[in-house]
Structure 1
Amino acid sequence: FADAGDVLATEPDEVIVATGGLPHVEVLEQGNDLVVSAWDILAGDAKPGQNVLIFDDAGDHAALQAADLISATGAAVEIVTPDRSFAPEVMAMNLVPYMRNLQKRDTTFTVTWRLRSVARDGNLLRATLGSDYGAFRRQRLVDQVVVNHGTRPLDELYFDLKPLSANLGEVDYEALTTGKPQRIRKNPEASFRLFRIGDAVAARNTHAAIYDALRIVKDL
């Protein structure tokens, strides 16, 4: 962990913030406090339920990893996604081991439905599903709802450093996309330039984060 003071103490010429992000689960009309994130399951911070609905609105590995872990306990699992297909960010070769495990455990996959809200119903949770294609509603009665909706930037360090940087954290996107060096300098008193990459900007996959880094550092 490093704060702005730690970074400034190193007297850097360039600072690249790659602090990642934290799960974004506040996406429902109501009941955000009743759900857990896929990360909570994977980190062991939330114990898997016995009848679990996983809402995957990111399409990456986290939802399938959580489903694999939960279904391995013998729980019933349904993966719901608003997309036309599930896990579009997971490539074919990586999908194979997930599907072998999940199909063996009779996991249900439901596409083109979106989780709208969650409410308590006795000692269970009533999950309401909606559609992007019409005013349709479906309900599920489960004991756990897991949400995978990407991340929000963990950007406190970036914004602490931004007013102290030579470029004020600004990126010349035309130069970035054409492979040219960054030339912006708006704070002549500053001694370092500041950039951020990956989930510290917005949720994205590993390949995109690496590409972010490549486009910045190749001209430093």
Structure 2
Amino acid sequence: ELRRLEEEAQRNRRLRATGEMAAGIAHEIRNPLGSIELFSSLLKKDLSEDQDKREIVEHISASVKNMDRIISSLLLFAKSPQPSRQLCDLNELLKELFKDSSAILIPQGINPVFSLGKDAIANGDSHLLKQVFINLIRNAIQAMPEGGDLKITTQKSSQLEQPSDQSDYCRQFIKITVADQGGGVSEENLANVFNPFFTTKDHGTGLGLSISHNIIKAHQGTIDVESEEGKGARFILKIPYWDYELDKK
């Protein structure tokens, strides 16, 4: 137990140092990006009759937006999440996500399968938890380029557990599972999936799962992954259940 705590402390120090560096770099890059975006939009207006050159400018604008998305991820990673804790219906949050095509686009061949338990009411920040679910669901979709079942389950625990911050009280949790039928994660990579900037994809920042880990930890919850190569991956979250006696105070 002592060794685990020491390793956790070392990881937190590394993350803090990495976050501070990332935030500094992100701010330095964002300012000139704003200028590029402004001038490209002005140039696009001037080239309204030259379709070939207009397409080049549109590529510039798209690249700027992609860079801005990466910077937003860096800043979110660098900032320690401070959840606004409130009553949050996780089932409704997940249903709304799949109705919002701007948040999650379900490609042809991906089959969402829901098994939503009753009373999945969490003590959490719906905005931050939405970001976690988006990250996990997008990862699952990307893991299945040939299609497959995307299984999402919620279940309220039947027994009391201790929160991840080792508080001196116990409470119930909501267990959420996001499972795919993709190629899975190798044993070698399994220990690194929540590390910042770690990715096995050709494109991506490697920050989505690290950000998700930080958000769930800030909720006094846990996030784990189970996987074997060729057998898909299962991400398992535990988020505190809304305690009507404790949390309403």
Considering the TM-score relative to the shorter chain, is it more than 0.5?
no
Q: Which of the pair is proportionally richer in strand?
A: 1
TM class by smaller structure: under 0.3
TM-score, normalised by the number of residues in structure 1: 0.26
More helix by share: 2
- Determine which structure has greater relative contact order: mean sequence separation of CA pairs < 8 Å that are 6+ residues apart, divided by chain length: 1
What TM-score results when the alignment is normalised by the length of structure 2? 0.24
